[in-house]
A and B are shown apart, each in its own frame.
Chain A
Amino acid sequence: MTKSLHTTLISKSGKEIPNTAEGSLGLLALGDVGLTIWRKAKTARQADRDILPITHNMNNI
């Protein structure tokens, strides 16, 4: 059982999301299994996915 880094995150909609093993970072830490689960779950949780969209600005690299 992986340990979460933060107990809760707040989504744009104001909903609390526990960042537990089922949370995104926890799933990445699980390796290939977690990655597969996360990629599948990502689409299912589209509404909460965009807490903070990451942009890729080449000028800043």
Chain B
Amino acid sequence: MKKKCMLIGWDAADWKVINPLLDEGLMPNLARIVNNGTIGNLATMDPAYSPMLWTSIATGMHAYKHGIHGFLETTRDGKAIKPVLSTSRKVKAIWEILSEQDYKTHVVGWWPSHPAEPMNGISISNFYQKPSNNPLNKNEVMEGCIHPAIYHDRFANLKINALEMTGQHILPFIPKADRIDQATNPGIYTVANETAQAATIQAAFTNILRHEEWDFTAVYFDAIDHYCHGFMKFHPPKQDHIPQHAFDLYKDVVTAGYRFHDMMLGRVLDLIDDDTTVMLISDHGFQPDHLRTKELPYEPGGPAYEHSPYGIIAMMGPGIKKDHIIHGATLLDICPTILAMCDEAVGRDMDGKILVDAFTENRETEFIDSWENIEFKKFKRQTDYALNSEDEDALMDQLIALGYVEPMKEDKQVSVRNNANFNQFNLAKSYMFAGLVDEAIQILEKLTSDNPKIPRYRFQLATCYQSKGMLAETRQVISTLKEKKYYNPKALLIMEATLLIGEKKYKEALEILLGLQESDNDLQAEVYASVAKCYMQLGNRTNAQRALDSGKIADYDNAQIHFLQGILHHHNEDEEAAIEAFLTSIGLEYSNPRAHRFLGACLYRQGKYENAAAALEITLRMQPHNNQARSTIIDIYKIHLDDVVKASAHRQAMQHHVKGDLIVVSGLPRSGTSMMMQMLNRAGLDIYTDKVRNADESNPRGYFEHENVKRLLHHKSWLKECDGKVVKIISHLLPSLPINKKYKIIMMERDLDEILASQRRMIAKLGHRTNEDVYPLEIMQKLAHSDKLAREWAQKQMSVELLIVNYHDVIADPFAQSLRISEFLDNKVAPEEMIKSIDHTLYRETSSPHHALT
């Protein structure tokens, strides 16, 4: 027997609006699900445009895979644009998969789903409920809305037009509606129109539930999103810039909209049985409080700035936990979860995960490479479709009225080109959201080059460059943006500050950020997060904490603020508080592998090894190449949990994820590292150097360094240029090396007194003063500690081979040491060549008896 599952979509529904209504008992039907099922936040995606998001929900895939990249698309002949259709979807949706598996399947109103697709049931497209412009038949349903077409009249009779609505429908939304002059104010018609459309969808859906057999149904309501775009600005508490009379008129619309949806939900719940799993979701939230945007930018898709990053998920039914909260759910998880609930295979190419935490029992789920590899024969979707021009115009007008698309230009080709650019921009953002930054950069560089006057393309390009640590390129784009009038200068300043943070110029970054602290509400939390980061790097934990406290007030749901709070607590060795903060951050943004890794580290410190291992396993699922996390988890399994099997499996995985190898020459400054680099260079090895630091009196044969090494703590992408080469990395930076490469480290060892003497001489040659009369005990201790940590790190790593080479041994017997080094390097270097670089006259520092340690 097939499992029964119902998926209900409420576009833009937000727990922040719902929770007070639940508390007041004003959404009793949703309360049934909340109290008897599992709920949570549902993280949205970027860009947060509904047709892209609802397709990701239906397919479990990022937009760059599913092919829906905006509200409109170019016609096949390239001469016009039209609303995006179901024919543009490149991958299979959940209803296609379940129909093929003989589930009785019905879908109502999904976006985009026109033309209605053949399935093992009834499909009604998202153009069904749209108002008709036909003055003779206001309830007309356009062609292609219903499949099978034989049901056209059945559902056309259930369509409601706004003009059928009466005062009884409006007054719950606008109690003082009689004060509105409808000739000049469209508020009443707007509410009537949206309510009529929602009621139309409800009528069609309940008709199917009552008259048809079904295993899987899906229904989509867009009214909450539209109520909010029109009226959230009037929702209590009153915003200062909203006139009192307008607030008084429209303050109840959003609440009434939610309550109406709850009434509809109640009817639906009455029509299902206890064997049905019902899942209610939204694609994003909608800011209802101090985070409401006062002014929207004039750009395509501008209304999306009003959205919030978390929608809702609420599910109830057999096998679903009761009175439970899940964390880390995203839109991409819905399709895999439904497939798992129905005991159907999940495609490995789906980007989401199964929400196993919602299930009462573990399920064995079958995985296949991809449903795309299987040809579906029972119900074939159209691949091409043309709307008639009248219908197309009416639909375009509706999208323009909602503010999602700009009005058509007189020259149609301009509109075609603008829309193509918008969709390409969305594709780039989809790649970036999926972590495929190189693909995003390729698109954005072309967009920027073809459209030099559109600053948002440049801004996104700068964001991509920044994420890859390409600081010079980022700075160049910012400089170009500064020359142009950028409509959001604050965002530009934040980016500049972030750039300075990347360059470790924390004081300069703070100068910019402190000036932005009291500015735009929607950017405040990001500003406070960056301020906290700077103070943490500068060692000012008190001010960092102040910034984080302010950030929580600005936006308590900001995952980054809680993540940084966790880091701060972790540095303060308050692991309990750190764990709490990391869990909050993960609850808000599950897909942050660093948060899971730090959580694992804190739990490890507390001796909670099983939980630590669990957190690190999640890190490794997100970042399979993260050998740092893997190294810790091997220790946990081997030493603390006595799980030899898992330890061994991870050890093998570690080897599998090691890519590339390099030779590292390391040690304390003035320990002989330059000498060793010279020896290896003389022997013909490829040296990684930018030759920025020239040879000088202290080192006449050169330093063989590279500026990139200084950035190793925060940026590691440059290491891929080092494969097969020799890199000089000072010992205290060694633990920053990623453990996804093999390293042969030649660690130079020299007496600390000699090192210090050599450093002092070098400093003096540079013209700086040193206090020769004071024994620098603190410096010595720091040097010794740093060296010890580096060696301990190196000895612990499976992908590291370490060779300690004493500086004086090389001077005293260069051939013997060169032979050792050659063997260590698998005989890639000839010892007789190496020793040719050694000039005994250059190496003169010895331990002074005056500074001998006692």
Quick check: is B256 within 8 A (CB to CB) of the other chain? Answer: yes
Q: Which of B167, B175, B186, B192 contacts A50 (CB 8 A)?
A: B167
Q: Which residues of B contact A55 (CB under 8 A)?
A: 182-183, 189
Q: Say yes or no: B203 contacts A60, CB within 8 Å.
A: no
Contact B210 A56 (CB under 8 A): no
CA distance A4 to B397 in the complex (A): 34
Q: Which residues of B contact A50 (CB under 8 A)?
A: 166-167
Residue of B256, B266, B397 touching A5 (CB-CB under 8 A) = B256
Contact indicator per residue, chain B 262-273, by CB within 8 Å of chain A (1) or not (0): 111011100000
Asked if residues B162 and A29 are in contact (CB atoms below 8 Å), the reply is: no
Q: Which residues of A contact B205 (CB under 8 A)?
A: 31
Knowing A49-B166, A56-B189, A61-B401 touch, does A31 contact B182 (C-beta < 8 A)?
no
Is B185 part of the binding interface, using a Cβ–Cβ cutoff of 8 Å? yes
How many chain A residues touch the partner (CB < 8 A)? 32
Contacts of B162 in A (CB 8 A): 54, 56
B260 adjacent to A29 (CB under 8 Å): yes
Binary per-residue interface labels of chain B (420-464) against chain A in the complex, 1 for a CB within 8 Å, 0 otherwise: 000000000000000000000000000000000000000000000
Whether A2 and B267, one on each chain, are in contact in the complex, defined by CB atoms closer than 8 angstroms, is yes
Which residues of A have CB within 8 Å of B262? 3
Among B185, B205, B263, residue most surrounded by chain A Cβ atoms (within 10 Å): B263
Query: A42 to B189, alpha carbons, bound, how many Å?
Result: 19
Contact A28:B189 (CB < 8 A) given known A5-B260, A54-B162: no
Given A2-B263, A3-B28, do A56 and B163 touch, yes or no (CB 8 Å)? yes
- By a CB distance below 8 angstroms, the chain A residues around B268 are 31
A39 vs B813: C-alpha distance in the bound complex, in angstroms? 104
* Cβ-defined contact, B168 with A9, below 8 A: yes
Would you call A23 and B168 a contact (CB within 8 A)?
yes
Residues A54 and B163 in contact in the complex (CB < 8 Å), given A29-B263, A32-B203, A61-B189:
yes
Q: Which residue of A lies closest to B180 (CB)?
A: A52
The answer to whether A52 touches B167 (Cβ under 8 A) is: yes
**Structural contact, A54 and B165, CB atoms closer than 8 A:** yes
| B168→A61 contact, CB < 8 A | no
Could you tell me which residues of chain B, from 155 to 203, have a CB within 8 Å of some CB in chain A? 158, 160, 162-163, 165-172, 175, 177-178, 182-186, 188-189, 192, 195, 199, 202-203
Interface class of chain B by DSSP: helix
Contacts of B263 in A (CB 8 A): 2-3, 5, 25-26, 29
Residues of B with C-beta under 8 A to A25: 168-169, 172, 195, 260, 263
Q: Which residues of B contact A52 (CB under 8 A)?
A: 166-167, 170-171, 177-178, 188
Q: For the complex, is A53 an interface residue (Cβ under 8 Å from B)?
A: yes
What's the Cα separation between A26 and B499 when bound, in Å? 56
Whether A54 and B160, one on each chain, are in contact in the complex, defined by CB atoms closer than 8 angstroms, is no
The answer to the question of B694 belonging to the interface, with a C-beta cut-off of 8 Å to chain A, is no
B266 touches A29 (CB 8 A): yes
- Chain A residues whose CB sits within 8 angstroms of the CB of B267 once the complex forms: 2, 29-31, 34
Within 8 A of B (CB), among A11-55: 17, 19, 23-26, 28-35, 42, 49-55
Residue of B nearest to A26 (CB): B263
Known: A6-B172, A23-B168. A60 touches B260 (CB 8 A): no
CB nearest neighbor in B for A10? B171
Which residues of the partner chain A approach B192 to less than 8 Å between Cβ atoms? 54
Please measure, in the bound complex, the distance between the C-alpha atom of A46 and the C-alpha atom of B494, giving whole angstroms: 61
Q: Which residues of A contact B335 (CB under 8 A)?
A: none
Q: How far is the CB of A16 from chain B (nearest CB, A)?
A: 12
A19 and B168 contact, CB distance less than 8 A: yes
Instruction: Give the distance to chain B from A7, nearest Cβ to Cβ, in Å.
Output: 10
Contacts A23-B168, A29-B264, A51-B168 given; does A60 touch B184 at CB 8 Å? yes
Residue in contact with A57 in the complex, picked from B168, B182, B195, B210, CB distance below 8 Å:
B182
**B271 nearest CB neighbor, chain A only:** A31
| Nearest CB of chain A from residue B32's CB, rounded to whole Å | 12
Known: A54-B162, A60-B184, A60-B185. A29 touches B202 (CB 8 A): yes
**A1 CB contacts on chain B under 8 angstroms:** 266
* B186 lies within 8 A of A32 (CB): no
In B710-754, which residues have CB < 8 Å from any A CB? none
Residues of A contacting B401 with CB < 8 Å? 61
Cβ–Cβ contact A32 & B172, under 8 A: no
Is B204 close to A, CB under 8 A? yes
Query: How far apart are the CA atoms of A51 and B262 in the complex, in Å?
Result: 25
Report A-chain residues with C-beta under 8 Å of the C-beta of B185.
60
What's the interface size class on B, roughly? 35 or more
A24 to B141, CA, bound (A): 23
Give B195's nearest chain A residue, CB to CB. A28
Chain B: minimal CB distance from A45 (Å): 9
Check B101 for interface membership: any CB of A closer than 8 A.
Answer: no
| Set B167, B183, B199: member contacting A28, Cβ < 8 A | B199
Least CB distance, A19 to chain B, in whole angstroms? 6
Bound CA–CA A19/B167 (angstroms): 11
Instruction: Assess the A31–B188 pair: CB atoms within 8 A.
Output: no
Chain A residues with Cβ under 8 A from B572's Cβ? none
Q: Is the CB of A31 within 8 A of B207?
A: yes
How distant is the Cα of A28 from the Cα of B199 in the complex, in angstroms? 6
**B175: nearest chain-A partner, CB-CB:** A6
* CB-defined contacts of A32 to chain B, threshold 8 Å: 158, 203-204, 206-207, 210
Structural contact, B256 and A51, CB atoms closer than 8 A:
no
Q: Which residue of B lies closest to A23 (CB)?
A: B168
**Complex contacts, B186 vs chain A, CB 8 Å:** 57, 60-61
How far, in angstroms, from A53 to B164 measured CA to CA in the complex?
10
Q: Which residues of A are found within 8 Å of B188, using beta-carbon distances?
A: 52, 54
A39: nearest chain-B partner, CB-CB: B164
Are B189 and A35 in contact, with the CB atoms below 8 A?
A: no
Q: Does B259 contact A (CB under 8 A)?
A: yes
Bound Cα distance A24, B167 (Å): 9
- Kindly state the separation between the CA atoms of A24 and B28 in the bound complex, as whole angstroms: 20
Contacts of B167 in A (CB 8 A): 9, 50-54
Known: A19-B168, A54-B189. Is A30-B195 also a contact (CB below 8 A)? no
Look across to chain A and name the residue whose beta carbon is closest to the beta carbon of B401: A61
A5 touches B166 (CB 8 A): no
Nearest Cβ on chain B to A26's Cβ, whole angstroms:
7
> Is the beta-carbon distance between B184 and A35 smaller than 8 angstroms?
no
Smallest CB gap from B259: residue in A: A5
- Residues from chain A with a CB closer than 8 A to the CB of B207 are 31-32
Q: A5-B259, A28-B202 are in contact. Are A35 and B168 (CB under 8 A)?
A: no
Chain A hits for B165, CB < 8 A: 54
Give the residue name and chain of the A residue nearest to B26 (CB). Answer: A3
A51 → B minimal CB distance (Å): 3
Q: Which residue of chain B has its CB nearest to the CB of A30?
A: B267
CA–CA, A19 to B173, complex, Å?
A: 12
Question: In the bound complex, how far is the Cα of B210 from the Cα of A33, in angstroms?
Answer: 10
Verify B189–A60 contact, CB threshold 8 A.
yes
Measured in the bound complex, the distance between the Cα atoms of B401 and A52 in whole Å is 24
A3, A23, A26: residue with the most chain B Cβ atoms closer than 10 Å: A3
Chain B residue numbers with a CB within 8 Å of A57 are 182-183, 186, 189
Within 8 A of A (CB), among B396-436: 397, 401
A–B pairs, 8, beta carbons within 8 Å: A9-B171, A19-B172, A28-B195, A29-B199, A32-B204, A35-B160, A55-B189, A57-B183
Given contacts A6-B172, A24-B168, A31-B205, 7 further A-B contacts (CB under 8 A): A3-B28, A25-B168, A25-B169, A32-B158, A32-B206, A49-B168, A60-B186
Interface residues of B (CB under 8 A from A): 26, 28, 158, 160, 162-163, 165-172, 175, 177-178, 182-186, 188-189, 192, 195, 199, 202-207, 210, 256, 259-260, 262-264, 266-268, 397, 401
Which residues in A have some Cβ–Cβ distance to B below 8 Å? 1-3, 5-6, 9, 17, 19, 23-26, 28-35, 42, 49-57, 60-61
4 tightest A-B CB contacts, nearest first: A31-B206, A51-B167, A52-B167, A29-B263
